[in-house]
Amino acid sequence: MLTKLANPSTFLRWSGALLPWLAGLTVATLGIGLWMAWFVAPADYQQGETIRIMYIHVPAAWLALFLYAMMSASAIGTLVWRHPLADVSQKAAAPIGAAFTLVCLITGALWGKPMWGTYWVWDARLTSVLVLFLVYAGIIALWRTIEDPSRAARAVAILTLVGALNLPIVKFSVDWWNTLHQPASVFRMDGPTIYPTMLYPLLVMALGVTFLALTMHMYAMRTEVYRRRVRTLSILEAERLDERRLAA
């Protein structure tokens, strides 16, 4: 069943039907999330209105990690099963993950200035997220360096899995070291420490941003399948021209 769904032609069919629904769900969830974040959630007693940055900063941070984890799972698919759709998934996720990591860094800096008095400090959380961004950039660069897609996929898969060592460092940096960045306040063993009036808008925004990332990923995967077909047909056309030239 999974093998059948993962056939690139079948993937183009079912993803083409699913994509408009996923996009619609994204728009609806993000619309509700933004409305809650801007008009329902109260200002923080200490941070004031600046807390509204949280509704994009935190989902962007989660997605930066989620997309890297997804890329790592695809990397295993590339190395173990040598499945081209796993290659495609890896390649499609990298720019999206890099974009969300960049959003996380920019919004974090813009939140840090009024709250901490500085845009940047070299503490463990901020530095490990910057490393995550650089790994994403390296992965995108490696994809562009190797022309053959399946060879590029294997090289990228190894780099991706090495880079995955950074994920627990990002997550637990605030627990392992003394950081200016606050510790986790949602995913904790003893439950969230955010008041529900702020937690629910945050969760709805996170859901909306997740749908957005999934929509973008599926769309980018479709583009990559088309790109590979163009490559295959271009090679085939060149080979046929060569054969005709030799025959003449």
**Tokens for 112?**
């840090």
Least spacing, CB of residue 102 vs another protein, in Å:
6
Is residue 49 within the footprint of another protein (CB under 8 A)? Answer: yes
Applying CB under 8 A, the site for another protein has a residue count of 60
Is residue 106 within the footprint of another protein (CB under 8 A)? Answer: yes
**Which one, 169 or 228, has the nearer CB to another protein?**
228
What is the longest distance spanned by two Cα atoms in the chain?
83
Binding positions for another protein, 57-76, rule CB under 8 A = 57, 60
Is residue 83 within the footprint of another protein (CB under 8 A)? Answer: yes
**Tokens for 20?**
């408009």
Please state, in angstroms and rounded to a whole number, the distance separating the CA atoms of residues 65 and 167. Answer: 7
Least spacing, CB of residue 191 vs another protein, in Å:
27
Is residue 204 within the footprint of another protein (CB under 8 A)? Answer: no
**Which one, 82 or 188, has the nearer CB to another protein?**
82
Q: Which residues 6+ apart lie within 8 Å of 192 measured at CB?
A: 185, 186, 199
Is residue 242 within the footprint of another protein (CB under 8 A)? Answer: no
**Backbone torsions φ then ψ of 48, nearest 5 degrees:** 65, -140
Answer whether 70's CB lies under 8 Å from 216's CB.
no
Is residue 240 within the footprint of another protein (CB under 8 A)? Answer: yes
Binding positions for another protein, 121-150, rule CB under 8 A = 148-150
Please state, in angstroms and rounded to a whole number, the distance separating the CA atoms of residues 194 and 188. Answer: 11
Least spacing, CB of residue 176 vs another protein, in Å:
28
Least spacing, CB of residue 209 vs another protein, in Å:
9
Is residue 113 within the footprint of another protein (CB under 8 A)? Answer: yes
Please state, in angstroms and rounded to a whole number, the distance separating the CA atoms of residues 18 and 146. Answer: 32
Please state, in angstroms and rounded to a whole number, the distance separating the CA atoms of residues 127 and 167. Answer: 12
Answer whether 160's CB lies under 8 Å from 140's CB.
no
**Tokens for 224?**
């990559």
**Which one, 148 or 190, has the nearer CB to another protein?**
148
Is residue 13 within the footprint of another protein (CB under 8 A)? Answer: no
Is residue 107 within the footprint of another protein (CB under 8 A)? Answer: yes
Please state, in angstroms and rounded to a whole number, the distance separating the CA atoms of residues 169 and 228. Answer: 35
Answer whether 149's CB lies under 8 Å from 82's CB.
no
Least spacing, CB of residue 48 vs another protein, in Å:
5
Q: Which residues 6+ apart lie within 8 Å of 227 measured at CB?
A: none
Interface residues with another protein (CB under 8 A) are: 3-4, 6-9, 43, 48-50, 52-53, 56-57, 60, 81-85, 87-88, 95-96, 99-100, 102-103, 106-107, 110-111, 113-114, 148-151, 153, 212, 216, 219-220, 222-223, 225-237, 239-240
